[in-house]
């Protein structure tokens, strides 16, 4: 059961051997004492999707009006860095932590430490392997994303031919689960052969180099490219074009709906599926506040059915919330680009 903000802080102060005044929380019942402090430990602020996520979190109505003091911490794609950031957030007595983990397994211990300190942890976007440790989590189904990826390329190939798979950072939940979905699609299409499969660590530059090498070594054998995110798909697309190949003849697909991917879809050069950073980030803020304030909390993000969105809020009491994917098509890409420009 969620504790009140005040009771959480009293408990944390007692654990630390300090008084509320000594901890800097002021007099009980004051507005200052009731400001919620939330730390968001994210993978990296060097990738567009994570920046979109952080920007969306900062646009949450309660962050904008000062009800929530949000601190976004850059994990720099380093699980140890994220673990240290958890220790800092615990020591500083944050009321809740939102976690976008770098590694599916290494993220378990920091979450366990926070929960033992009485600080609820909300998962968002990528996940840890022991999701039972979360107070709740909100993400999109990455197995489904993998299937969408593979099926879109296979369909463009006419159901047969050779593909290469560009994977994300090994050990992240998105890499693991998207690969599972890709393999399900491949198993259903036995006339498709995987020629090469390697990580490019979610990086456009690494994917460009990797696919350039494959195109040289494999000549004209490659009929399609399945990339586990848009950054790598764009790098693969650049390699295809640099080799003088027609993107229509070597279809490329990615996931996330980053701006350059939307523009490439608009040009008819690749396929993408948008991952809703706004819903995942702002939904996580609402779930963190529900964990802090309890069942009476009313969500503010537009993603929830109470605000005209698509997901049932369910009082903020469910452990898992799944944000729908948005296939990027010729019919909706203009609207998605306009929305991006207005953010």
What confidence score (pLDDT) does residue 16 get?
37
**Cα–Cα distance between 254 and 81 in angstroms, integer?**
28
What confidence score (pLDDT) does residue 219 get?
80
* Residue 8 placed within a domain: no
Domain range for residue 146?
Answer: 142-274
**Cα–Cα distance between 23 and 92 in angstroms, integer?**
9
Residues 208, 133 share a domain: no
What confidence score (pLDDT) does residue 5 get?
52
Which residues have C-beta within 8 Å of that of residue 46, sequence separation ≥ 6? 76, 77
Say if residue 267 is exposed, middle or buried (CB neighbours under 10 Å; 0-12, 13-18, 19+). Answer: exposed
What confidence score (pLDDT) does residue 34 get?
64
* Residue 289 placed within a domain: yes
Residues 265, 281 share a domain: no
Residues 154, 205 share a domain: yes
What confidence score (pLDDT) does residue 27 get?
27
* Residue 47 placed within a domain: yes
pTM, whole model, 2 decimals?
0.86
Which residues have C-beta within 8 Å of that of residue 227, sequence separation ≥ 6? 149, 165, 166, 200, 207, 233, 235, 236, 252, 253, 254
Residues 266, 304 share a domain: no
Residues 258, 159 share a domain: yes
What confidence score (pLDDT) does residue 12 get?
42
- Cβ–Cβ under 8 Å, residues 85 and 98: no
What confidence score (pLDDT) does residue 193 get?
98
Mean pLDDT of each 10-residue bin along the chain, 343 residues long: 46 36 30 76 94 97 97 97 98 98 96 98 97 97 97 98 97 96 98 98 97 94 98 98 96 97 98 96 98 94 92 95 95 94 78
Residues 305, 204 share a domain: no
Residues 269, 222 share a domain: yes
Query: Tokens for 224?
Result: 């399609």
Give all strands (DSSP E) within the chain, no chain letters. Answer: 36-42, 68-74, 96-99, 121-124, 136-139, 161-167, 192-199, 224-227, 252-256, 271-274, 320-322, 326-327
| Number of domains the chain contains | 2
Which residues have C-beta within 8 Å of that of residue 97, sequence separation ≥ 6? 38, 39, 40, 41, 86, 89, 114, 119, 120, 121, 122, 288
CATH code, domain with 229: 3.40.50.2300
> 75-80: long-range contacts at Cβ-Cβ below 8 A with a sequence spacing of 24 or more?
75/41, 75/42, 75/43, 75/44, 75/100, 75/102, 76/44, 76/46, 77/43, 77/44, 77/46, 77/102, 77/169, 77/201, 78/102, 79/103, 79/106, 79/107, 80/106
* Residue 220 placed within a domain: yes
Which residues have C-beta within 8 Å of that of residue 334, sequence separation ≥ 6? 266
Residues 43, 136 share a domain: yes
Give 69's strand partners. Answer: 37
């Amino acid at each position: 059961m969620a504790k009140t903000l005040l009771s959480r802080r009293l408990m944390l102060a007692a654990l630390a051997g300090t008084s509320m005044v000594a901890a800097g929380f002021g007099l009980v019942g004051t507005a200052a004492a009731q400001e919620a402090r939330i730390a968001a430990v994210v993978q990296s602020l060097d990738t567009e999707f994570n920046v979109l996520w952080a920007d969306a979190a900062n646009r949450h109505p309660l962050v904008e009006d000062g009800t929530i003091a949000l601190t976004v911490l850059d994990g720099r794609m380093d699980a140890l860095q994220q673990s240290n950031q958890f220790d800092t957030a615990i020591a500083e007595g944050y009321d809740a932590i939102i976690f976008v983990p770098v590694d599916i397994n290494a993220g378990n211990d920091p979450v366990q430490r926070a929960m033992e300190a009485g600080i609820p942890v909300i998962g968002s976007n990528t996940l840890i392997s022991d999701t039972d440790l979360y107070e709740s989590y909100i993400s999109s189904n990455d197995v489904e994303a993998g299937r969408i990826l593979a099926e879109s390329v296979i369909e463009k190939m006419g159901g047969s031919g050779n593909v290469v798979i560009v994977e994300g950072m090994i050990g992240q939940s998105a890499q693991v689960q998207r690969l599972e979905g890709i393999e399900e699609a491949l198993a259903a299409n036995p006339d498709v052969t995987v020629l090469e499969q390697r990580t490019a660590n979610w990086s456009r530059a690494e994917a460009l180099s990797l696919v350039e090498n494959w195109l040289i070594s494999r000549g004209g054998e490659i009929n399609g490219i399945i990339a586990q995110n848009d950054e790598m798909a764009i790098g693969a697309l650049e390699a295809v074009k640099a080799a003088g190949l027609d993107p229509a003849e070597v279809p490329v697909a990615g996931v996330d709906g980053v701006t350059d991917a939307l523009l490439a879809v608009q040009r008819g050069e690749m396929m993408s599926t948008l991952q809703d950073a706004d819903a995942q980030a702002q939904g996580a803020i609402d779930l963190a506040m529900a964990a802090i304030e309890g069942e009476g909390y009313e969500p503010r993000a537009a993603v929830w059915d109470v605000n005209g969105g698509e997901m049932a809020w369910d009082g903020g009491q469910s452990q898992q919330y799944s944000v729908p994917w948005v296939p990027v098509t010729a019919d909706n890409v203009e609207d998605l680009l306009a929305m991006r420009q207005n953010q």
